[in-house]
Structure 1
């Protein structure tokens, strides 16, 4: 029997990308740009697999799932359905969970999508379960009293909010035995909080902002530790163009904006978090990315996070690190009043 894939998405670009990724697994690829077009396709064809976007212009892609549920005589009942969307929640999973095989969140990693569909076709994935939050310890270097308890308090609040839990549930921080993202996030919480303590920014609201930023800043590449480990400036990134695929280069260049856009959609997340995330690869010498900002356009909270992010990478790359060596290395890298005060505070911390 011919293996046919149906892609339902209102973006022609997404349809083309998904088709290129998955075409090796199927004999034929068919697309639909709307719910009505998808229903027509389902009435007149028998598919082997369906990739479905939930957030379609003017409609909810869940109508396609409901159509199959309401029409058990349809030849496509039992066909595996993968949800490819940036909007999904536990209520949807509970209502329709038995009707689809997996969820891949936008923005998505191409290899992850391919491997997921291949696993479903091979019978290795059968049903989606509830979204779970990753548990991440706060890693030293700085002893901060009751930090882990405070972070757990923030995460308990996240678990009580369906939209926040959904967003955090997109994190895939521990794939293939690589613990880089786990360690990176935990150390980043510790260092950014430690800097804030030295600056006497010690309110729970400030801590909350850095917990959110640490967890979510790399959410668009959380399953790509190879990309997350990049630590250069815009010119170093340009030099990677020949080594990365165009898709991976674009993803790395724009991952901070992708994450910030999702954060901005949720008023439950504290103010400033989206800006911290958007600016976390900027540098005061206008050599950061994606916006190449000057020091006077980088916010004070972003400045703390940028230095904490840089120091986290330095510690992970240099097990025998010392603060003295680090400060010597970055004294010409971080210019401006905000950064000078942060580096001064770091000098007193170890």
Structure 2
């Protein structure tokens, strides 16, 4: 009989019967390395069985709604519908786990990541959608067709304290945070994050919130990432373009940064050249810059002046090429002198 290493289950109805079938499957396929389950099946029994699989490297709990599948999406209408977990894990739980996608309350996420039976330092990728810890509609739910509905009146913005448990996982290479409201993180908080996670390759900090109020992050966030995240390939931030915190521009991004996404913050026409010049000093020619129309969603357009951002994008591209051509020209001139 062939050895089955990957399993994807996609049933929703008949919850109790489905749980029994799932537990039987897990007990029968001890060699699984990857499993995808409907999130309705995530409970203590399922977690306990999963934690015993010695070779399991990837767990993804997905939500289904109207025959659409959304990884780590959310179909709960209120906090009371979101399950709670005891995490009664045995020592040595999840011995091979490196990738986890799950829907948890922040309090449950902290208890799981700091559980004495789980060595969270092995995790390479962690994705989780979290709900606010109060009896109110959750921050975001998926509607038919994949469009988002944000009930931000009942949402508390994520703070540096709330995400602190994540910083203990120094082996993380990917960190994505998304919420309707802008994060309350400032440049100092970002510095703490990137210093704690030196292996980051993909960092996305809510770069496209539903509510466009001025964020606390300034443009100074970029040189912070350039200095402390040498492995970055993808960076997505929502920053206040009218604020440049005090810093020395001593580091630029390496060509390993493939894509920079700048969220749709307000940009005044008089600031276009300043922002473009600043970006041109930080970015390599190889880096793809997305802003303005590039980050807007046609099905859910933002109330921003995309023209200004598109102007910045064009200016940045020209400035980077001019700067590189000037450097190459100077190098050629120097080589002919000797």
Q: TM-score range by the shorter chain?
A: 0.3 to 0.5
Query: Which protein is richer in strand relative to its size?
Result: 2
Query: Which protein is richer in helix relative to its size?
Result: 1
TM-score of the two chains, using structure 2 as the length reference: 0.32
